[in-house]
Chains A and B, each alone.
Chain A
Amino acid sequence: MTQEEVKQKVKKAVSEVLKIEQSEIDDDANFIFDLGADSMQSMLLIAAFEDEFDIEMEVEKAQEVQSISEAIDFISGYL
């Protein structure tokens, strides 16, 4: 999977959980600061990434992922 494909899938998952148009999500957007995710939504994002990429992430490390760009890097490590 290319980096671009990963990015689009990440944005899709974020869009679904936070109910934001994909076009409104910048590449370096922070889930909390820029997209307004609360603590529950942050947990839901982890689950959404796992479903989207069919992977199982280490929860403690996944919780440290704060932004779209960090998510792309982190998820790429599982692919």
Chain B
Amino acid sequence: MTEKTNIYKQNLQTLFYPKSVAIVGTNKVKGTVPGDIFTNIMKAELNGVVFPVNPREKFIGGVKTYKYVIDVPDDVDLAIIVFPSSVCNRALEQCGQKGIKAVIIISAGFKEIGEKGLEREKELLEIAAKYDISFIGPNCLGVINTDPVSRLNASFAREFPAEGNIAFLSQSGALCTAVLDYALAKNIGFSKFVSFGNKADISEIDLLYYLMDDEKTKVILLYLEEITNGPGLMQAARDVIEKSGKPVLIMKSGRTSEGASAAASHTGSLAGSDEICNAAFEQAGIIRCDNIQEMFNIAIAFAYQPMPKTNKVAIITNAGGPGVLTTDAAIKQGLQLARFSEETTSILKRSLPSTANIKNPIDVIGDARADRYIAAMDAAFKDDDVDGVFVILTPQSMTDIEAIAEEVAKAAQGSDKPVYTSFMGAADVAAGIKILEKYQIPHYRIPEAMCMPFYTAYAFNKMVKEHTDVTVELTGLDNDKAQSILQNASNEGRSYLPEHVAAKVIEAYGLPVIESGLAHSANEAAEIAAKIGFPVVMKVMSDDILHKFDVGGVVLNVNSKEEATQTFTDIYASVNRKMPDAKIEGIYIEKQIRQGTEVILGIKRDPSFGPVVMFGLGGIFVEIFKDVSFRIAPVDKSAALEMIMQIKSSKLLFGARGRANMDIDSIANAIVRLSRLAVDCPEIKELDINPLIVLEEGEGCYVTDTKIII
């Protein structure tokens, strides 16, 4: 955390818990933003003093009104600016003069309208810097703090939400209003609710650090339209998760990949912005959500219930079909059905009718009343193999829905194991669902929907508990050499490095490059080949030739000095015939290594997240199936191993279909070193190692072809 972030944290505390608030530019007109902000702040019964500021009014809503904020006789903790954008600078300047450190700028008409607005926004930042002001916005819905200590509604939202332990941060104000309405219908409360708009000053990163220490917040939800500081966001999320154990759920819009289409390398074309965003979130432990419903389905699991210790659940249902459907969904999601102990089975046998199914899923039968549900839940809670309970209800004529809801909720509250529910249907079960929501028992409209939130909570808990830092100091990195090669290429005006030069760059970072040399004559070719040792591969080197095979520029299995001499002449002849204008630099000769499995490694730079490394299996797995994995650089060895395991075709490296195990360790080491190169040498725009030949376990891997674009 930076010193700047600390200042933000102090100012954010004042912003969320002000003892005095000035609404600068408010008016008496209901149904307008300046008017409604005043109404909302008064309606919420702020624990503090409110000072309306308007150049013309003497009183607003019966409260004495001041012409300028500097006219307010008392200290002001928070200013909410609702003036038109053209005069926000003057309002902020006066806030500075008044000594106000926390400001919310609601007004629109800044960066979002173009150049003129951007200028205005820059001016706000200059004023804020001059007076050490931290501000949220501009162009936002505002801020809500439901904590009874504050009860701040500095927004023009329609409703003041219930108190809760979920914090919601959003770049979109309109989405905020929809989320508030959704939450209202679902009885979901919030701790803090922030629309941060253009995030000119206070960003989602500052807010994450604030919420990390906010006692009222258990879960953090974030809606983002653009990521301006990817590494900062990742670090903030990591810090929040590691230091507070609070999950961070992000809904990120803009899943398009136009950026990938213009790339010049394999890695560039495969790494779309959304894939990189996914990888970055996964690395940081962020839970990515696709829509509001999914986000809240997961959020209530975290907010209302204990964390699952394992992935083993007991399903309790009054109907067989939904029990089977839920079982299928659970298994597919990666959950397990708990195996009941003999004692549990015996309890269930005694407590339930003989027609009931006492194995998991437990079927308490259609005529079950609350007592059977409770007997089954109690038995499941006592069973050591059960770490979560799914309760399913279908509304049958004899089902006392509300009584069951009441009893299930009370039983759940008395357990340290998470309980999720699904009362299936809509009209008949509505009152029962309201009871469950009142008791903060997660409820899902269909029973299958319980599985994903449970698995997410389980996986998150496991990640937090098992996290270990396995960063190892790398040795044998020659950054000076790599930089010098790249600098020379840049001085020569090159946009990419010839293969033999590119090989030197990655060799400087300890990647296993096979022995090679560049020959300018047939005799030299024979000498170099003999020195390397046969067999060798010979390739034409030319800036003008991208696809060497197509012009007869690559020859494998050269086995003697004589063959090397002849091959040199043959390649020149072939290239001269097929591409007479190509300028040939020489013939590149390298050791031909034994057959292994071809994999591809790469580097790309993402505008939001910076350097990215890629791994995939070579050939059709990359070309057709695009079966690759990404991580933001640098990566440690465990992350590199995860990258290898993550691709669908990874089994081919682990002895599938009678193959030998490949040397996974050497690939992971290569990924780690490549990721350091990506971080240390920002001149490299894109890099492909295609292929990296991987030999059997213990025999290593070798780079045979490298492409570097600068």
**Which residues on A are within 8 Å of B, measured CB to CB?**
18, 20, 30, 32-36, 38-39, 66
Q: Which residue on A lies nearest to B87, using beta carbons? A: A33
Closest 7 CB pairs of A and B: A36-B56, A36-B55, A33-B87, A32-B87, A33-B90, A34-B55, A32-B84
Q: Which residue on A lies nearest to B116, using beta carbons? A: A64
Residues facing A in B287-333 (CB within 8 A) are: none
Is there an interface contact between A30 and B84, defined as CB atoms closer than 8 Å?
Answer: no
Q: Collect the chain B residues with CB atoms within 8 Å of residue A36's CB.
A: 27, 54-57
Q: Collect the chain B residues with CB atoms within 8 Å of residue A38's CB.
A: 27, 29
Is there an interface contact between A33 and B91, defined as CB atoms closer than 8 Å?
Answer: yes
* A–B Cβ pairs within 8 angstroms, 20 of them: A18-B56, A20-B56, A30-B87, A30-B90, A32-B55, A32-B83, A32-B84, A32-B87, A33-B55, A33-B83, A33-B87, A33-B91, A34-B55, A35-B56, A36-B27, A36-B55, A36-B56, A38-B27, A38-B29, A66-B87
14 more A-B residue pairs beyond the given contacts A20-B56, A32-B55, A33-B83, with a C-beta to C-beta distance below 8 A: A18-B56, A30-B90, A32-B84, A32-B86, A33-B55, A33-B87, A35-B55, A35-B56, A36-B57, A38-B27, A38-B29, A39-B84, A66-B86, A66-B87
Residues facing A in B66-107 (CB within 8 A) are: 83-84, 86-87, 90-91
A20, A33, A34 — which one has the most chain B CB atoms within 10 A of its CB?
A: A33
Q: Collect the chain B residues with CB atoms within 8 Å of residue A66's CB.
A: 86-87
Encoded as 1 (CB less than 8 Å from any A CB) or 0, chain B from 149 to 167 comes to 0000000000000000000
Q: Collect the chain A residues with CB atoms within 8 Å of residue B91's CB.
A: 33
**Considering the chains assembled together, what is the distance between the CA atoms of A16 and B378 in angstroms?**
78
Q: Collect the chain B residues with CB atoms within 8 Å of residue A18's CB.
A: 56
Encoded as 1 (CB less than 8 Å from any A CB) or 0, chain B from 45 to 76 comes to 00000000011110000000000000000000
Least CB distance from A72 to B in Å reads 18
Least CB distance from A49 to B in Å reads 18
Least CB distance from A38 to B in Å reads 7
Q: Collect the chain A residues with CB atoms within 8 Å of residue B86's CB.
A: 32, 66
Encoded as 1 (CB less than 8 Å from any A CB) or 0, chain B from 24 to 46 comes to 00010100000000000000000
**Considering the chains assembled together, what is the distance between the CA atoms of A38 and B54 in angstroms?**
11
**Considering the chains assembled together, what is the distance between the CA atoms of A24 and B684 in angstroms?**
64
Number of chain B residues close to chain A: CB under 8 A: 12
**Considering the chains assembled together, what is the distance between the CA atoms of A36 and B57 in angstroms?**
8
Q: Collect the chain A residues with CB atoms within 8 Å of residue B84's CB.
A: 32, 39
Q: Collect the chain A residues with CB atoms within 8 Å of residue B83's CB.
A: 32-33
Least CB distance from B19 to A in Å reads 26
**Considering the chains assembled together, what is the distance between the CA atoms of A32 and B91 in angstroms?**
11
**Considering the chains assembled together, what is the distance between the CA atoms of A13 and B83 in angstroms?**
23
Least CB distance from B350 to A in Å reads 75
Q: Collect the chain B residues with CB atoms within 8 Å of residue A39's CB.
A: 84
Least CB distance from A42 to B in Å reads 8
**Considering the chains assembled together, what is the distance between the CA atoms of A38 and B33 in angstroms?**
12
Q: Which residue on A lies nearest to B34, using beta carbons? A: A38
Q: Which residue on A lies nearest to B88, using beta carbons? A: A33
Q: Collect the chain A residues with CB atoms within 8 Å of residue B54's CB.
A: 36
**Considering the chains assembled together, what is the distance between the CA atoms of A6 and B199 in angstroms?**
43
A30, A36, A39 — which one has the most chain B CB atoms within 10 A of its CB?
A: A36
Least CB distance from B72 to A in Å reads 16
**Considering the chains assembled together, what is the distance between the CA atoms of A4 and B90 in angstroms?**
27
**Considering the chains assembled together, what is the distance between the CA atoms of A33 and B90 in angstroms?**
8
**Considering the chains assembled together, what is the distance between the CA atoms of A20 and B56 in angstroms?**
9
Q: Collect the chain A residues with CB atoms within 8 Å of residue B57's CB.
A: 36
Encoded as 1 (CB less than 8 Å from any A CB) or 0, chain B from 9 to 31 comes to 00000000000000000010100
Least CB distance from B168 to A in Å reads 31
Q: Collect the chain B residues with CB atoms within 8 Å of residue A34's CB.
A: 55
Q: Collect the chain B residues with CB atoms within 8 Å of residue A32's CB.
A: 55, 83-84, 86-87
Q: Which residue on A lies nearest to B54, using beta carbons? A: A36
**Considering the chains assembled together, what is the distance between the CA atoms of A32 and B27 in angstroms?**
12
Least CB distance from B113 to A in Å reads 13
Least CB distance from A52 to B in Å reads 21
Q: Which residue on A lies nearest to B91, using beta carbons? A: A33
Least CB distance from B58 to A in Å reads 11
**Considering the chains assembled together, what is the distance between the CA atoms of A38 and B83 in angstroms?**
9
Q: Collect the chain A residues with CB atoms within 8 Å of residue B29's CB.
A: 38
**Considering the chains assembled together, what is the distance between the CA atoms of A33 and B82 in angstroms?**
11
Least CB distance from A1 to B in Å reads 28
Least CB distance from A45 to B in Å reads 14
**Considering the chains assembled together, what is the distance between the CA atoms of A35 and B91 in angstroms?**
13
Q: Collect the chain B residues with CB atoms within 8 Å of residue A30's CB.
A: 87, 90
**Considering the chains assembled together, what is the distance between the CA atoms of A39 and B57 in angstroms?**
16
**Considering the chains assembled together, what is the distance between the CA atoms of A30 and B86 in angstroms?**
10
Q: Which residue on B lies nearest to A29, using beta carbons? A: B55
Least CB distance from A40 to B in Å reads 10
Encoded as 1 (CB less than 8 Å from any A CB) or 0, chain B from 584 to 621 comes to 00000000000000000000000000000000000000
**Considering the chains assembled together, what is the distance between the CA atoms of A18 and B91 in angstroms?**
20
Residues facing A in B472-489 (CB within 8 A) are: none
Least CB distance from A25 to B in Å reads 11
Q: Collect the chain B residues with CB atoms within 8 Å of residue A33's CB.
A: 55, 83, 87, 90-91
Least CB distance from A27 to B in Å reads 16
Q: Collect the chain A residues with CB atoms within 8 Å of residue B87's CB.
A: 30, 32-33, 66
Q: Collect the chain A residues with CB atoms within 8 Å of residue B55's CB.
A: 32-36
Least CB distance from A19 to B in Å reads 9
Least CB distance from A14 to B in Å reads 12
**Considering the chains assembled together, what is the distance between the CA atoms of A36 and B34 in angstroms?**
12
Q: Which residue on B lies nearest to A39, using beta carbons? A: B84
Q: Collect the chain B residues with CB atoms within 8 Å of residue A35's CB.
A: 55-56
Least CB distance from A53 to B in Å reads 23
**Considering the chains assembled together, what is the distance between the CA atoms of A34 and B87 in angstroms?**
10
**Considering the chains assembled together, what is the distance between the CA atoms of A32 and B57 in angstroms?**
13
Least CB distance from A66 to B in Å reads 6
Least CB distance from B70 to A in Å reads 12
Q: Which residue on A lies nearest to B29, using beta carbons? A: A38
Q: Which residue on A lies nearest to B84, using beta carbons? A: A32
**Considering the chains assembled together, what is the distance between the CA atoms of A33 and B54 in angstroms?**
8
**Considering the chains assembled together, what is the distance between the CA atoms of A54 and B497 in angstroms?**
71
Q: Which residue on B lies nearest to A30, using beta carbons? A: B87
